[in-house]
Amino acid sequence: MDRIVVVGAGQAGASCVAKLRAEGFAGAITLIGEEAAPPYQRPPLSKAYLLGEMALERLYLRPESYYADNAIDLRLDTRVAAIDRAGKTVTAGGQTLLYDALVLATGSVPRRLPASVGGDLRGVHVVRTLRDVDAMEPGMQPGRRALIVGGGYIGLEAAAVARKRGMEVTLIEMADRILSRVACPETSDWFRALHRGHGVEIREGVGLTCLVGVDGRVTGAIFSDATEHPFDMVIVGIGIAPATALAEAAGLDIENGVKVDAQGRTSDPAIWAAGDCASFPYKGGRIRLESVPNAIDQAEAVARNILGAGEEYVAQPWFWSDQYDVKLQIAGLNAGYDHVVVRDGGAARSHWYYRGDTLLAVDAMNDPRGYMIGKRLIEAGRSPAPEVVGDAGQDLKPLLK
Ligand code: FAD
């Protein structure tokens, strides 16, 4: 193994190349990314960075000098256009590069509103890249009116930032409740109340019919209830799709993302995938995770496996979101839950998802202790009795013994 090429200089790509060097790989490493910035963290894009409370340099995952210092050939502003599997090459920036192992860490692409409903008007933004956020930031002025389309975590975080910046904020969610795809009704209720308490107008069960504009710039929106409202900017948070185009064109198996085995290998044994773009085996099924912890852990597992470790990647899902002064921490995956136990400790609150007697996941709002204990229990495959969890007066720590 002499040459490893990694496509996508995001969280997974950067983690993979760093792990390869840390594990002692001495061959050539090329990390290719189509964005202009060196690898950076995305979570602050809808939180501290958008709020103006985090300097650009702090977004970067490593100092720029790290790549040269570690003989990593970092090529920015460069899109990988094609993979030739037979010849084991990729085409990027007009050059052809040979690989012995190729890693796809292409992330995901945000869903956009089509031009037919005004998605191409100026003042309409998505939140995926540094460029997206730098473009929207000047429009976030006190007193201006923002429409947020989509009540998932990205939309809610953007709403919180816009409100903190003094904007008038309306959020519409087509489903009957915010966070319906990812959380229980109790969590939706809690976040709805939080946002309304901060002055965000939340409209659920309301879709967007179209945006309206003047001279190519958005000036308002018509909702599915036929009402028309003026807006100065629109932030669209309606989900993402795994970036599979390159893999698909190369004929790799796709199943809700680039399909990999437990070690992170695609249907071509010389090509691996990790992060948002990859779907992998999990508890008898197959999942794809859109989170930083997964991008790092999976990419590091792939790095070790390329070097022959032969280890299975066992995801331990966790996630977080910051809105106003609330830190939400999530442990586990709630898919398949049949009931939720609320632990109401006043300022610290957590929602525990069960299927039968089995604990699946915990949403903890300003409750780091509940989160930490829940996470350790889930990882150990242990399920506390609901009546213990539901009694905020009972200490949970003894459950870990
Ligand atoms: P990415 O970080 O998206 O990197 C993929 C890179 O590949 C991109 O730079 C892309 O341009 C590049 N690329 C794609 N195709 C090509 C090509 N053909 N040639 C060259 N380059 C290519 N996760 C959390 O856990 N907690 C959070 O609070 C959280 N908040 C978030 C907030 C925002 C605003 C966003 C956008 C994401 C957030 N996430 C959060 C999700 C997290 O950032 C992603 O799961 C993570 O970045 C995935 O890493 P990745 O390397 O798979 O993809």
| Residue 222 and residue 172 share a domain | yes
Note whether 360 and 264 are same-domain residues: no
SS3 375: helix
Please report which residue ranges of 284-350 form alpha helices under DSSP H: 292-306
Flag whether 318 is in a domain.
no
In a domain, 316, yes or no: no
Q: Is 47 in the pocket of ligand 1 (CB under 6 A)?
A: no
Domain encompassing residue 353: 325-400
Taking the CA of residue 278 as reference, the ligand 1 atom at the shortest distance is 52
Indicate whether residue 16 lines ligand 1 (CB < 6 A): no
Kindly state whether residues 59 and 86 are assigned to the same domain: yes
Whether residue 74 sits in one domain with residue 45: yes
Whether residue 194 is found in the same domain as residue 221: yes
343 and 394 co-located in one domain:
yes
Q: In terms of C-beta density within 10 A (0-12 exposed, 13-18 middle, 19 or more buried), how is residue 79 classed?
A: middle
Q: Is 179 in the pocket of ligand 1 (CB under 6 A)?
A: no
Ligand 1: atom nearest CA of 107 is 53
Position 194 in a domain? yes
pLDDT tens string, the chain, 401 residues long: the values are 899 999 999 999 999 999 999 999 999 999 999 999 999 999 999 999 999 999 999 999 999 899 999 999 999 999 999 999 999 999 999 999 999 999 999 999 999 999 999 999 999 999 999 999 999 999 999 999 999 999 999 999 999 999 999 999 999 999 999 999 999 999 999 999 999 999 999 999 999 999 999 999 999 999 999 999 999 999 999 999 999 999 999 999 999 999 999 999 999 999 999 999 999 999 999 999 999 999 999 999 999 999 999 999 999 999 999 999 999 999 999 999 999 999 999 999 999 999 999 999 999 999 999 999 999 999 999 999 999 999 999 998 898 88
Q: Report ipTM (2 d.p.).
A: 0.99
Asked whether residue 221 falls in the same domain as residue 128, the answer is yes
Same domain for 105 and 248, yes or no, is: yes
- Which contacts of 358-363 are long-range, i.e. CB under 8 A and separated by 24 or more positions? 358/383, 359/332, 359/383, 359/384, 360/332, 360/333, 360/334, 360/335, 360/336, 361/330, 361/331, 361/332, 361/333, 361/334, 361/337, 362/330, 362/331, 362/332, 363/183, 363/184, 363/187, 363/328, 363/329, 363/330
Ligand 1 pocket check for 20: Cβ under 6 Å: no
Name the pTM for this structure: 0.97
Task: Give me the number of domains the chain comprises.
Answer: 3
Domain CATH number, residue 24: 3.50.50.60
320 belongs to a structural domain: no
Q: Which residues of 265-297 are buried (b: 16+ CB within 10 A; e: fewer)?
A: bbebeebbbbbbbbbbbbeeeebbbbbbebbbb
Question: Which atom of ligand 1 lies closest to the CA of 44?
Answer: 32
Tell me: do 73 and 119 sit in the same domain: no
Asked if residue 159 and residue 222 are part of one domain, the reply reads: yes
Spatial contact of 32 and 75, defined as CB atoms under 8 Å apart: yes
Q: Which of 236, 256, 291 is the last residue of a domain?
A: 236
Which residue among 215, 236, 257 closes a domain? Answer: 236
